[in-house]
Structure 1
Amino acid sequence: MGERREGVITACGCRRGPVRVSRRNLLAVLASGAALVACSENAATGRSQFAVVPDETLREMADQAWADLINQTPTSTDTAMQARLERVGRRIVQASGRTDLDWRFVVFDRPEINAFVLPNGKVAAFKGLMDFARDDDELAGVLGHEVGHILARHPAERVSQQLAVQVGVGVLQAILANGDYGQHAGEIAGALGMGAVYGVILPYSRNHELEADRLGVDLAQRAGLDPAGAIRFFERMAIEGRKQPEPPEVLSTHPADAHRLAVLKEAVAALPKG
């Protein structure tokens, strides 16, 4: 769940295009950060990450995106709904240990069943989602997922992948333009760019969603809530999703419903009992 706002990629993006930044800025970011963070290991996931964009940079971008959202989108006047989101969200944050961020949880008055997190710890939940989540356990499944994206540093990883593809394709296009294939350089680079999107970025995005699900159920349990709430929530979301056509998993940023539910059930079953 999540969404991309212009100029910043959120932890959990909907099916939208990549961030657009000038090539000069891309090269500067890659050159300055690659040696420091390109091969860092994430403590929450236990795997190494390609992340050349510093978290501080993402948080600065997210601050502006959040300010724009607050100015442009009406917030809910339902104080009980807002209090519920805040109560469950704070429990998840305490369980995560990431109390260093300036977390804020806001219900926006929109009907979509959706939520997203920004790299600066700002969490938006739409009224449609708040109405859809039947209890705190289901809501904890959603918020655990969103906080899980931050623990896993998915925003930095995803933006880094997109920047690397943009820069790599640009460099390749410049090389081709000076060779025998100069007149077709744009078409060749474009085709290779699409290959990178479908072969690298989208699979990583799907893996991010599954990784956040696993972290989310663990956070829900550590927060004293029922981690199976996530299963119940996404089972009903899957039913809701059948009302509209869904692209094949290979063309989607999100895993197929059946795959996602299977991974969720495995994750909940693997949690320590009692």
Structure 2
Amino acid sequence: MLTLRTNRYLTYFFIVVFSFFLTNESFSQKRKDKEPTKAEFDKMVEKEFGKFVYGTKEDKMVQEVGKNIIKWAGYTGLDVTFKTIQSDEINAFAYPNGNCYVFTGLFQTIETIDELAFVVAHELAHVVLQHGAKTEELLRKQGKKVTEDQLKAWTREQEYEADKYGILYSIRAGYNPLGSVNWFNTMVNRGFEYTPMFEKQVDHPNFTQRAVQSFIHIGNYYEYARNFDYGVIYLQTGDYGMAINSFQKFLEMYPLYKEAYNNLGVAMLAEKINKKGVNLDLWVNTAVSKLELFKDNFQSRTRGNYTVTNKDFVDAIDNFNKALKYDPNYPQPLINLAMISVLTKDMTGAKKYLDQAMKLSSGLYDTYQILGFYFAEQSKFKDAADAFQKAYNLDKNNPKALFNLAYSYQWNQQKDLATSTWKTFLNLVPEGKYANIARENLAKLTGTVTKNPNVPETGKLPNAPKKKLIEGESALQASISGIKIGDVSDKVLAKLQAPAFAETEDGTTLWHYYSPTITVTLNADGYVTGMILWERNESGISLGDLGSLNVGDAEDKVLEVCGPAEDKTEEGSYTMYNYPDAGFVVWTSNGEIVAVGIYAIN
């Protein structure tokens, strides 16, 4: 049974997969004196449980998986370390300070890398969710009033929560979420419902219960977590209302996910900016989390032609602050708050947020982008150019800073530098909206018109069928799962059956499917006006005589099948190939297609 003396130790460590309690007086004494450093914790753990091992097969697996989980969960800013303890005990645990440990005995029960990924992600979740600190706060406030049963219930709730977020983190890092279920089943099949070391200390839920809950968490992921990805795509396409809706749905299931609060704030900020008619000349981006997608929220090109106040951005500010609540060392919301401050002419506030972001990550591209915006809005064009130059030096494949650098030179009457910078920009971005702006500015500076070399004279797709375009249809009669633009809703139901869920806004209905993962857009009369395929299926998108494309195909196939896009946009790690005359669009990332869509031509 747990005693109040044992409970006290939970104030400075937290068990991740199993439950055990330290009785070494050195831990207790250290706690009384001061908070031990990470190195001191390592020494105490090594003395209590066994020597650390380095470079072994098991340790290399722990390090690799830990690195991947931290990266894709979005917590590279946290001071988290993983160490492997030579011990036959089947266990793993983590302290609130980010020290995580895995016993070599755990590998006796692990059959796949996915199972290890779940264990590691579960540990990280305890650290991220600050379970140890919350337990300490509970004991500090209530002291001896806390009963054993209350503490057990508290601990079980935290275990389930760590399982849920551990599954989310492991999926986002590319591991199979069934690793959680498989590992729990392995332990049960070996006759264990709890860790062998501490089977009598049942403060954790048993493995059978956790296996069942893991199935539920996995199902919830596929129902809810995709809304995060939908939200990012909606941000990219400028549908901010749908982006807000998507991130809010995601937060219903994962209310402690900092990236979702940041992106929800970005969507709210973007929506309000558009409604208020904010017009900027610079290519200024908000800092969208997780996938490095940076959405251009400003459509016009008159610098400083806007009037907004903090009241316009209350909801966005609230979500950025929630993101900071869950991670005070998270620079993206600070950058976004700085952007709002510049927009509202609060330059003191902007400088404060920028300084904080710079302290956390002085090598972050977005920080210098908004710093340049901050200077440009005060007509300090030389300082703006310096900031944009630093951003460009950090990422020479990202053209936004180069675009803004050219404008800064132009506004500062540095004609030669502006001309050469616009030309360099066009080498990176030869087509699209911003390439056209660059050509307009070059024409003003040099008196010479620069043509886009990638747009065919006809303005049509190479090898496109020679047929008359029918208004409201896709030029190629493209289809997804046998459904074309202009088909009636009954045909969609016949082909795909009822959607997983539906949404209606301003006369437009969206049907969302999970198997296959498709979004269908219907107009008020029930006709299909657009479709997006998010995951690979048997047929992909049929493009008539041109052939077909599918999610997962190599990016090179887009040009091979369709030729150069009439509208190609680079957004962070994503590229969008848009063929407006044909009525279809392709998104790619990391060299492969990640989504394809068709839409009606007006």
SS at match of 1:224: coil
Equivalent position to 2:53, from 50, 73, 76: 76
SS at match of 2:100: strand
Tell me which residue corresponds to 1:98.
75
Q: Is the 8 A contact 1:115 1:129 kept in 2?
A: yes
Comparing both structures, which one devotes a greater share of its residues to strand? 2
Tell me which residue corresponds to 1:14.
19
The structural deviation recorded for 1:209 is 0.5
Distance of 1:257 and 1:122 partners within structure 2? 24
The structural deviation recorded for 1:70 is 3.6
Residue 185 (structure 2) pairs with residue 235 (structure 1): yes
Task: Output one character per residue of 1:134-191: Cα deviation in whole Å (capped at 9) or x when no partner.
Answer: 111010010111111112110101111222232xx4xxxxxxxxxxxxxxxxxxxxxx
- Give the number of the structure whose alpha-carbon radius of gyration is greater: 2
Aligned runs of 1:1-274 on 2, under 5 Å? 8-12=12-16, 14-16=19-21, 60=36, 63-70=39-46, 73-76=50-53, 79-166=56-143, 169=144, 193=145, 196-240=146-190, 241=192, 246-247=199-200, 252-272=202-222
Tell me which residue corresponds to 1:31.
none
Q: Is the 8 A contact 1:15 1:252 kept in 2?
A: no
The structural deviation recorded for 1:122 is 1.8
The structural deviation recorded for 1:103 is 2.4
SS at match of 1:271: helix
Task: Output one character per residue of 1:207-226: Cα deviation in whole Å (capped at 9) or x when no partner.
Answer: 01000000011111000110
Q: Is the 8 A contact 1:8 1:61 kept in 2?
A: no
Distance of 2:38 and 2:137 partners within structure 1? 16
Distance of 2:29 and 2:51 partners within structure 1? 28
Structure 2: segments with no counterpart, 5+ residues? 1-7, 223-513, 515-534, 536-602
Identity percentage of aligned residues? 23
TM-score (norm 2): 0.32
SS at match of 2:211: helix
Q: Is the 8 A contact 1:5 1:65 kept in 2?
A: no
Residues 217 and 159 of structure 1, relative CA distance in 2, 3 Å threshold: same
Q: Which amino acid in the other structure matches residue 127 of structure 1? A: T
Distance of 1:68 and 1:6 partners within structure 2? 16
Aligned residues: 209
The structural deviation recorded for 1:78 is 5.7
Distance of 2:199 and 2:19 partners within structure 1? 13
Larger relative contact order (CA 8 Å, sep ≥ 6): 1
Comparing both structures, which one devotes a greater share of its residues to helix? 1
The structural deviation recorded for 1:246 is 4.6
The structural deviation recorded for 1:202 is 1.3
Residues 160 and 131 of structure 1, relative CA distance in 2, 3 Å threshold: same
Q: Which amino acid in the other structure matches residue 19 of structure 2? A: C
SS at match of 2:69: helix
Q: Is the 8 A contact 2:163 2:214 kept in 1?
A: yes
Residues 262 and 113 of structure 1, relative CA distance in 2, 3 Å threshold: same
Q: Which amino acid in the other structure matches residue 42 of structure 2? A: W
Tell me which residue corresponds to 2:426.
none
Distance of 1:256 and 1:207 partners within structure 2? 12
Distance of 1:164 and 1:17 partners within structure 2? 22
Structure 1: segments with no counterpart, 5+ residues? 26-56, 170-192
Task: Output one character per residue of 1:114-151: Cα deviation in whole Å (capped at 9) or x when no partner.
Answer: 11112222211001112321111010010111111112
Q: Is the 8 A contact 1:7 1:65 kept in 2?
A: no
Q: Which amino acid in the other structure matches residue 80 of structure 1? A: K
